[in-house]
Amino acid sequence: MSDTFKLNIDGKDIEVPRHYTLLQACEEAGAEIPRFCFHERLSIAGNCRMCLVQWVGAPKPIASCAQTVGEMRMNPDGSAPNIKTTGDYVQKARNGVMEFLLINHPLDCPICDQGGECDLQDQAVAYGRAGSRYELNKRAVEDKNMGPLVKTIMTRCIQCTRCVRFAAEVAGVEEIGMISRGEDAEITTYLEKSLTSELSGNVIDLCPVGALTSKPYAYNARPWELRKTESIDVMDAMGAAIRVDAKGSAVMRILPRISEEVNEEWLSDKSRFVWDGLSRQRLDKPYIRENGKLRAAGWSEALSLAAEKLKGDASKIAAFAGDLVGVEAMKATKDLLSALGATQMDCRLSGQSLGVTANGEKLPRESYILNPTLMGVEDADALLLIGTNPRLEAAVWNARIRKAWLWNELKIGVIGEGADLTYDYTHISSSPDAINDLGEFGDVLKNAKRPMIVVGEEATRGESGYATLKAAHELAKSCGAIVTGDEAWAGFGVLHTAASRVGALDLGFLPGDGAKTGHELLSSNCEDMDTVILLGVDEVPMTQFGDAFVIYIGSHGDAGAARADLILPAPAYTEQSATYVNTEGRVQTTTMAVQPKGEAKAEWAIMRAISPLVGHQLPYDSLDQLRALLREENDVFAGLNFAPGHSGAAALDAALPEGSQALSDEPLYCPIGDFYLTNPIARASLTMAECSLQKQTLEVSAAAE
């Protein structure tokens, strides 16, 4: 039997794969099919019937979303089935469906947040009546409390069940369902409780009417008032494609863009709703600490003080990079410190063994990126997670893992902390020493055609961190996860948690020869340091900087600013164009959606302004010149939006340098304690604070039960 099927659609002969739905076949032929319940990434429901088409010879219209092409029959004369997507017959059928959908729908379009983006409104223009023939009382449905993110007006609901299917199939948290039947049918949450999934906000995008809308965004703006800017997300290391919608000087909402290779069309709740934190607790002017208190200062005074502190002994100057800082900021800082003769710099403040070994031997790029790529998990048939919790560290990628588990029968093993990952897995052990003895899952890996091993940042921390990385790499080689040649497969990689980490490692923002690591300096409370530059560093105990003079460069007044002796304000990721490299080695750039707050200046520009004051002027005066130098020094930065993927198999096939430590038997834990409060922007957000409080309340309630 052929894998394709022939159809005649609106007089056009086409041939499509047999697994296509009739709706997809019609769209392949260029027809536009209205729909509400159908979604390409969800299972078929066939609820709304808006997609009706005429199959010539059939007794009634066909719901094209629920009809698989391969199950259709040829005409008695052997000709291809004749499908009509237009005409009076189809128009009348769709008009009738639309009339039924609008029977109970409230006429509140003027105040609906979905206005201007409503599928029901748009399709009613094409298939609706001028008035309703329904004269009885409309039914009303009580609104549900789905938590601080999703606002409900359930009387608008048309029971398409997109939200139900998303929760069950993609998010993996079956908290939404339909109760009752017929006229009494309604969508609700389990026991009327709030949503707990880290992906719950995606139901807002999926809802084709105004039943589920954004609670934080409610009544703030109309869609046509917003400036729309394409950018990328920095709340984790995935680099999800986003659209930043702004009005005036404020970001009003953040929405996902389609990126099949990274985030498909989903976005985590933190990435979606963190936008209110962009306007709170902002650093908008320089500050100098005098007599224990901060006072506002001008840029000239602040830069002069910074230059004065950097003119001292170069061996006593250090710079650390935080989780949200862009490549350009680290490049300018590195260039300035190198010109001064300073070698103390690091981006691995928790002691990760990435980029270089303990004795300073450089590691290949393939040893610290996710070589199989985020999308590659769909091609794998066995996955071993070591010291990582993807649900908290990369929520959207976790949904992709669930997708592979659900549809491709992916087998998953975990070494590390046990947690609800939304899919079944074999919990091998809590400690990394189990890498050498995987038990039954070892056979699963060896028998797999395309095994995949992913190491989390947590697993590379501490004295034995490099031993874990090396052991995982050797396991990947022995079980066939690294294959060179025509059918290359690079099934070994690292899942990062910080947007800045891979870019910093590519740049070489690491200790120079003979210098201490950032973790070593912090462990000694920076006792040998006179001056410390913090590029958005807020995630370490500030007491670890001892008596050093701290220069903080960042966007928000968080822990780093509270400790700083000198504060230099910088833009947030929505206020500048900056380069980031995601966990799979993909170079990406943010785009300025709004102007920086107050007197904030780009981090690289601050370093450029300081450089002539210390007698070492940096060789670039613009962002373009800086990026040109970046590309010249490292061709990694020459290719935008490109993930190396399996091209790194040959480099991975080489053994990593030997280490001195053995595998640890200490348990591995997820480095993220609170998903919603992982960075200064999130901690400034009232919405994230409410989500965090709700999560804590639910955990306490569950523990009590």
Question: How far separated are the first and last CA of the chain, in Å rounded?
Answer: 56
Q: Strand order in 293-296's β-sheet? A: 293-296, 287-290, 566-569, 549-554, 531-535, 317-321, 344-346
pLDDT of residue 182: 84
Provide the pLDDT confidence category of residue 191 given band limits of 50, 70 and 90: confident
Pairing of strands 52-55, 82-84: antiparallel
- Residue 107: exposed, middle, or buried by beta-carbon count in 10 A (0-12, 13-18, 19+)? exposed
Q: Is the pLDDT of residue 283 over 80?
A: yes
- Residue 246: exposed, middle, or buried by beta-carbon count in 10 A (0-12, 13-18, 19+)? buried
The residues facing 555 across adjacent strands are none
pLDDT of residue 468: 95
| Contacts of residue 701, Cβ cutoff 8 Å, sequence gap at least 6 | none
pLDDT of residue 700: 63
pLDDT of residue 1: 58
Provide the pLDDT confidence category of residue 522 given band limits of 50, 70 and 90: very high
Residue for token digits 């050498």? 436
Sign of CA dihedral 677, 680, 685, 689: positive
| pLDDT, tens digit (0-9, with 9 covering 90-100), for 427-456 | 999 999 999 999 999 999 999 999 999 999
Q: Is the pLDDT of residue 704 over 60?
A: no
In order of 35, 89, 109, 194, the CA distances from 96 in angstroms are 14, 11, 21, 36
d(CA 270, CA 277): 11
At 475, the amino acid letter reads L
SS3 184: helix
**Quick check: 49 and 62 in contact, CB under 8 A?**
no
Q: DSSP string covering 515-533, please?
A: PPPHHHHHHTTTTT-SEEE
Please choose, from the candidates 56, 2, 45, the residue with its C-alpha nearest in 3D space to the C-alpha of residue 21.
Answer: 45
Q: Element (H or E) spanning 62, and its range?
A: strand 62-63
Tokens of 187: 């969508």
Q: Is the pLDDT of residue 705 over 80?
A: no
Q: Is the pLDDT of residue 216 over 90?
A: yes
Tokens of 233: 């997300």
CB atoms within 10 A of CB 87: 11
Average pLDDT over residues 678-704: 86
* Beta strands, E only, 35-129: 52-55, 62-63, 82-84
* Beta strands, E only, 555-683: 566-569, 579-581, 587-589
pTM of the model: 0.95
Q: Is the pLDDT of residue 286 over 80?
A: yes
Could you tell me what percent of the chain has a pLDDT over 90? 87
The mean pLDDT of the chain is 94
Please provide residue 295's backbone torsions phi and psi, each rounded to the nearest 5 degrees.
-130, 150
Q: DSSP string covering 131-150, please?
A: S----SPPP--------SSE
pLDDT of residue 611: 97
Q: Strand order in 250-256's β-sheet? A: 227-232, 241-247, 250-256
| pLDDT, tens digit (0-9, with 9 covering 90-100), for 245-274 | 999 999 999 999 999 999 999 999 999 999
| pLDDT, tens digit (0-9, with 9 covering 90-100), for 315-338 | 999 999 999 999 999 999 999 999
The residues facing 549 across adjacent strands are 531
- Residue 479: exposed, middle, or buried by beta-carbon count in 10 A (0-12, 13-18, 19+)? buried
Provide the pLDDT confidence category of residue 543 given band limits of 50, 70 and 90: very high
| pLDDT, tens digit (0-9, with 9 covering 90-100), for 363-394 | 999 999 999 999 999 999 999 999 999 999 99
Alpha helices in 150-291 (DSSP H): 162-165, 202-206, 269-273
- Residue 183: exposed, middle, or buried by beta-carbon count in 10 A (0-12, 13-18, 19+)? exposed
The residues facing 575 across adjacent strands are none
At 372, the amino acid letter reads P
Please choose, from the candidates 333, 616, 372, 338, the residue with its C-alpha nearest in 3D space to the C-alpha of residue 482.
Answer: 372
Number of residues that this document lists for the chain: 705
Give, to the nearest 10 degrees, the angle between helix 299-310 and helix 603-610: 70
